[in-house]
Amino acid sequence: MRSYRVLLPALALLAACSPQGPSKAQSIPDLAQPTRRVPSDPGSMKASFSPVVKKTAPAIVNVASRRVVRQQARDPFWDFFMGGGGGAPRDQVQGSLGSGAIVRADGVIITNHHNIENMSDITVQLADRREFPATVLLDDPRSDLAVLKIDTKGERLPVIAIDDQEQLEVGDLVLALGNPFGVGQTVTNGIVSALARTDVGAAEFGSYIQTDAAINPGNSGGPLVDMDGDLIGVNTFIISRSGSSSGVGFAIPAAVVRQVVSTALGGGHSVVRPWLGVKGQPVTAEIARGLGLATPRGVVISDVYPGGSAQRAGIREGDVILTIDGQAVNDEGGGAFAIGTHKVGDRVSVLINRGGKEQTLTLRAEAAPESPARDERVLKGRNPFDGATVVNLSPAAAQDLGVDAFAGRGVLVTKIGQGFALNAGLRPGDFVREVNGKAINTTAELAAVANAGGSAWTVTIERNGQRITARLRA
C-alpha cells in the first residue's frame, strides 16, 4: 500500500521515516517525540503510513476455522404425511474467518476467542500465503482472546511487539490491520476516540479502546497499532445497525493481550485474575449529591466479601472507590479490569472517598477463592435434572461463569443437554435452591436427592433474582 496517502493532522511525525522502514531491531525514527503537533508545511501533509505498514504487515495472519456438525435432514414430504423426523442425517460444515497477529517468532499467534470457538480445525495463513494447521494453547472467553501455535519447523517468523506501556490519549493516530471479507490484507486508519470503555462489549471482562478506524467482518483478532508499529490492542467488535463499519470499533487493550499470552507461554490453561471482592454501583448525579461529592464519579460499595482482600485492606460498605492504581473506576466492570490486569500477589493502591474525605488504601491482589470446590457434574437418571450440568458456586466459579459471586452458596445450572431437564424448563444460570423441601447447597446433595427415587419432585429454583417453585414429574 505504498501509494496510500492521507491528509490528516499529526502525520508530520512520519515525515522523517525511511521509505524502507526500520529493521526488526530498531524503532521507527522520530516517532518517539514527546510532543504532538499539526502539519506545518505542504511536505508534511503528504506524509504516509507506509513505514508503519511495512513494519507490521508481515506479522498479520488470516485465521480460518471450521467444524463438521451432523444435522437431521428435513424432508417436507415426510414432515407433511408422517409428522416430521424424515430424512437421513447429513454433515454440515460450519466455518469462521478472522484475523490474528504473530507475537512470537516461533509461531505464537493472538486472535479472538470467538474466531475459534467450538471449532476443531484451525488454519493460519501467513502474509506470504503459506498455510499451517494451528493448535490452541489457551482460550480465554472472558477477554475474548485465544492464543494459537503453528509449527514453523524452526523458521523464525516476523512478529509485532505488544506495547502495554504506551500512554494512549484520545486523538492519537492508529491503524487497524486484518483480513475483512476474505479479500486479503487491508489497512485502515483512524484515531483513538475513547479509552477504558467498560460499558460495552460481548466479553465479560473488558475495558476497551474505542476507535473510528474502519473495522469490518473478518477484522476480528487483527491488531490495532500505534505509530511505532506496536500492537496496542486487538480489534474485537463494532457497534453498527447495518452490520458494517460505522466508525465505532473496539479493541482489547495490550495489557490484557500480554496477560493472556504470558499465561499461555507459561503453560497455563486458564488466566488467573485477581478479584476485588466487592459489589457496588456507579455513582450517579443523585447519589453524588447524597454523598456530598462534587462530581458523580466512582463506585459506591454495597457489599464486601467476608475475608477477602478488599475487606482486609479496610474497604467498607458505603465507601466510594475512585481509582485503582491511578486508573479511574466508574463501574464494576472498570474495577474488575483495573484489578484483573495485575498479578496475584501484587500490592495495589485504591483511592476511596469515605465520609467526604479521600484516602488511599493498599490491598494485596488475590485470586477469587475456590470454596466450596466446584465439583462439576452431569446429572443422570429418572429425575427432573436428567441432562443438566451443575456446579458448586464459589467466587472463582462465579468469576469464570460471569455470574454474581454474592448470590450466596448454592448449585448453579451451567448447561442443559438431552434429557428430562430440557423438558422440565431448566435453563443455564438457574440456581437450584430446594428439592422436596430440602435446601440444596452442593452438587452432591442435589445428586443424592434427585436419585432418591419417586415419581414427583417439588423443585425451587432462583432465576434472575426471583424464586420459582414447581411440581415436576419424570
For residue 101, is pLDDT > 90? yes
Beta carbons within 10 angstroms of residue 176's beta carbon: 27
pLDDT grade for 241, boundaries at 50, 70 and 90: low
pLDDT grade for 332, boundaries at 50, 70 and 90: confident
pLDDT in tens, 32-58: 445 666 667 777 666 788 889 999 999
Whole-angstrom distance, CA of residue 300 vs CA of residue 9: 41
Structure confidence at residue 424 (pLDDT): 83
**Any residues with CB less than 8 A from the CB of 360 and at least 6 apart, and which?**
349, 350, 351, 352
Structure confidence at residue 96 (pLDDT): 67
Q: Are 288 and 322 in contact (CB under 8 A)?
A: no
With CA atoms as reference, report the closest residue to 126 among 96, 104, 99: 99
Whole-angstrom distance, CA of residue 375 vs CA of residue 377: 6
For residue 203, is pLDDT > 80? no
Structure confidence at residue 10 (pLDDT): 35
Structure confidence at residue 376 (pLDDT): 92
Q: What is the DSSP letter of 367?
A: B
pLDDT grade for 263, boundaries at 50, 70 and 90: very high
**149 backbone dihedrals φ, ψ, rounded to 5°:** -140, 130
Q: Which residue has the cell 483495573?
A: 338
Question: What 3-state class would DSSP assign to 443?
Answer: helix
For residue 197, is pLDDT > 70? yes
pLDDT grade for 257, boundaries at 50, 70 and 90: very high
Please give the average per-residue pLDDT across 201-229, as a whole number. 84
**Any residues with CB less than 8 A from the CB of 189 and at least 6 apart, and which?**
6, 8, 49, 173, 174, 175, 176, 213
For residue 69, is pLDDT > 70? no
CA distances to 147, 244, 329, 343 from 332, in Å: 27, 30, 8, 19
pLDDT in tens, 396-431: 888 888 788 887 778 999 999 888 888 888 899 999
Tell me, what amino acid is at 231?
L
Please give the average per-residue pLDDT across 125-133, as a whole number. 91
pLDDT grade for 8, boundaries at 50, 70 and 90: very low
Question: Which three cell numbers, joined as nine digits, stand for 85?
Answer: 423426523
**Any residues with CB less than 8 A from the CB of 35 and at least 6 apart, and which?**
none
What element of type H or E holds 77?
A: helix 76-82
Whole-angstrom distance, CA of residue 174 vs CA of residue 227: 7
Q: What angle do CA 345, 346, 348 make, to 5 degrees?
A: 130
Structure confidence at residue 17 (pLDDT): 39
Tell me what the pLDDT averaged over the chain comes to. Answer: 83
Please give the average per-residue pLDDT across 170-176, as a whole number. 93
With CA atoms as reference, report the closest residue to 164 among 91, 292, 34, 261: 261
**Any residues with CB less than 8 A from the CB of 278 and at least 6 apart, and which?**
301, 303, 304, 305, 308, 310, 315, 321, 335
Q: Which of 220, 245, 309, 394 is catalytic?
A: 220
| Helix residue ranges, H only, 175-227 | none
Structure confidence at residue 68 (pLDDT): 56
For residue 145, is pLDDT > 90? yes
Query: Which has the minimum average pLDDT: 65-79, 394-408, 439-453?
Result: 65-79
With CA atoms as reference, report the closest residue to 299 among 271, 265, 322: 322
pLDDT grade for 453, boundaries at 50, 70 and 90: confident
Please give the average per-residue pLDDT across 372-390, as a whole number. 91
**50 backbone dihedrals φ, ψ, rounded to 5°:** -55, -45
Asked about 114 being catalytic, the answer comes back as: yes
Q: Are 276 and 310 in contact (CB under 8 A)?
A: yes
Q: Which of 114, 140, 172, 226 is catalytic?
A: 114
With CA atoms as reference, report the closest residue to 324 among 355, 363, 291, 287: 363
Q: Which of 96, 99, 144, 193 is catalytic?
A: 144
Structure confidence at residue 15 (pLDDT): 36
pLDDT grade for 351, boundaries at 50, 70 and 90: very high
The gap from C-alpha 76 to its chain's centroid, in whole angstroms, comes to 42
Please give the average per-residue pLDDT across 361-385, as a whole number. 90
Asked about 220 being catalytic, the answer comes back as: yes
pLDDT in tens, 109-126: 999 999 998 888 899 999
Please give the average per-residue pLDDT across 74-102, as a whole number. 63
Please give the average per-residue pLDDT across 74-79, as a whole number. 53
Structure confidence at residue 74 (pLDDT): 54
Please give the average per-residue pLDDT across 205-234, as a whole number. 89
For residue 217, is pLDDT > 50? yes
Q: Are 415 and 429 in contact (CB under 8 A)?
A: no
Residue 372 preceded by cis peptide, ω within 30 = yes
Between residues 181 and 288, the one the model is more confident about: 288
For residue 185, is pLDDT > 90? no
Between residues 148 and 20, the one the model is more confident about: 148
- Determine if residue 421 is left, alpha or beta; phi over 0 gives left, psi from -120 to 50 gives alpha, anything else beta: alpha
Q: Are 112 and 97 in contact (CB under 8 A)?
A: no
Structure confidence at residue 41 (pLDDT): 74
Whole-angstrom distance, CA of residue 109 vs CA of residue 151: 11
Pairing of strands 208-211, 249-253: antiparallel
Structure confidence at residue 215 (pLDDT): 85
Asked about 144 being catalytic, the answer comes back as: yes
Structure confidence at residue 316 (pLDDT): 94
Structure confidence at residue 46 (pLDDT): 67
Whole-angstrom distance, CA of residue 408 vs CA of residue 394: 8
For residue 21, is pLDDT > 70? no
